[in-house]
Structure 1
Amino acid sequence: MLHKLYHRCCDGLGHREHLVRTWKLKGEFQIYNLHRGFFLFKFNNNEDCDTILEGSNYFFVGRPLILRRWEPGMAIEKLNLSTVPIWMRFPELNLSFWSAHCLSKIASKIGHPLYMDVQTTEASWLSYALVCIEVEAGIDLPNQIDIRTYLGVTHQKVEYEWRPSSCKECKSFSHASSSCLKKQAKENVKKE
């Protein structure tokens, strides 16, 4: 299984210990550091690999672990990711919006809501709500959203645990707009 890790400052050992605790595997696995944040996982139990790939989204240091099954001939640099899960935080959220239904509607203004953390679900930590959403490449992540109610408009601050860079031209998280070859080619054609 191929894994793209977007957090480069961790060592393989710490990464492995975290995954062992998170995945609760039946067998053993090896991690091979490829390059540019990519890792290859080799499992001695195929059921473990299938369970992980079918499981929910996994995060490490607040950033998603993007997992794909390895296939012969797979070009690692050309993996086209058009969506990624990210955690968004609503600090000082009005108590009247503190429900799964309301939070889902609010979060859907930015992306597709996936789930909330335990403290948000149980409303046990009310200083902010934490929601995981899936966002599309190329969209702008706003710092504030407007919530319309029968009482008027509320301006809600939005924070992100991680802001992924993406290309607006290709609609992909595989590279930033500033290094897009497609965009550069279009600009070169306009100059001619």
Structure 2
Amino acid sequence: MDSDFIERIQNITLTKEEGEVIKVGGTHRDKILEECSLCLLGHFLTTRSYNQGAAKSLIRLVWKMGSDLKIVDVGSGLFQFKFALESQLKWVIHNGQGSFENHPLVLRRWERGMTASTVTFNSITLWVQVWGLPFDLMSEEACRDIGGGLGKVVEIDNKAFSSEQARFVKVRVELPLDKPLRRSGVVANPEGDKVRVGFKYERLVRFCY
């Protein structure tokens, strides 16, 4: 409803007075910009209704930031997450993307000029497990190349190369939201031999591919 109202306002024919520019003062501009720079915008990937109060409580519990974190409902399922420190914001970007009732939370940093009606989300960062790799492709290089075929590689989990668990390798990838998730893919080694591998996306229990 909020976005419909904004859209109607933007599309109406303006009177002379409505076209006049109202100048805003900049007395506390630096402080406001600093506060905004410590913000993330986010929403849960779902079209279903859900308990927003419970979702906010869960986020507070998982991120463990107490009163340092302020969560503001800015309408249309969009939340503004305000942090006290840059290190807290970066931790969330790196570790904190979660879900509520199997609805993934997508996040992005604030940018100047953003409004609740213009925020867009183009990607989601997830850990992707790669199953079925040949033993001779169990390497960091192969993991990076495979992740790069899915999206933008953020991080590689090196545990599979140094621990007793080697059933799969894992790479953290920034995946585009406008493309379907792949359930499998074909990987070719340097000699040209091909094998089909499977992809499992962590924290996505029920998700439409």
Count of aligned pairs: 157
1:31 pairs, out of 71, 75, 91, with 71
Structure 1 Cα separation of the partners of residues 81 and 181 of structure 2: 32
Alignment of 1:4 with 2:45, yes or no, is: no
Going from structure 1 to structure 2, the CA distance change for 1:18 and 1:131 (only over 3 Å counts) comes to same
Q: TM-score, normalised by structure 2?
A: 0.59
Going from structure 1 to structure 2, the CA distance change for 1:151 and 1:68 (only over 3 Å counts) comes to closer
- Matching of residues 67-146 of structure 1 within 5 Å: 67-69=108-110, 74-117=114-157, 119-120=159-160, 122-146=162-186
- Once the two structures are overlaid, the 10-residue window that deviates more, 100-109 or 129-138, is 129-138
Deviations 1:34-92 (A, max 9, x none): 4444222334x3xx1x2344454332148454132375x63223212333322222123
Q: Is the 8 A contact 1:2 1:69 kept in 2?
A: yes
Deviations 1:94-128 (A, max 9, x none): 22222211111112112121113464464443222
Q: Is the 8 A contact 1:4 1:38 kept in 2?
A: yes
1:59 pairs, out of 97, 107, 113, with 97
| RMSD, aligned CA | 3.4
Q: Is the 8 A contact 1:64 1:86 kept in 2?
A: no
Stretches of structure 1 that go unaligned for 5 or more consecutive residues are 166-192
Stretches of structure 2 that go unaligned for 5 or more consecutive residues are 1-38
Structure 1 Cα separation of the partners of residues 58 and 187 of structure 2: 41
Q: TM-score, normalised by structure 1?
A: 0.63
Query: How far apart are 1:158 and its partner, in Å?
Result: 1.8
2:150 alignment partner, SS class: coil
Going from structure 1 to structure 2, the CA distance change for 1:140 and 1:146 (only over 3 Å counts) comes to same
1:105 alignment partner, SS class: helix
Report the AA paired with residue 151 of structure 2. Answer: G
Going from structure 1 to structure 2, the CA distance change for 1:87 and 1:95 (only over 3 Å counts) comes to same
Structure 2 Cα separation of the partners of residues 68 and 77 of structure 1: 15
Equivalent position of 1:19 in the other structure: 63
Query: How far apart are 1:15 and its partner, in Å?
Result: 1.3
Q: Is the 8 A contact 2:74 2:116 kept in 1?
A: no
Q: Which structure has the larger Rg?
A: 2
Structure 1 Cα separation of the partners of residues 108 and 207 of structure 2: 16
Q: Is the 8 A contact 2:60 2:69 kept in 1?
A: no
Deviations 1:143-185 (A, max 9, x none): 22111122621111222234988xxxxxxxxxxxxxxxxxxxx
Q: Is the 8 A contact 1:31 1:42 kept in 2?
A: yes
Structure 1 Cα separation of the partners of residues 163 and 192 of structure 2: 23
Question: How high is the sequence identity, in percent, across the aligned residues?
Answer: 15
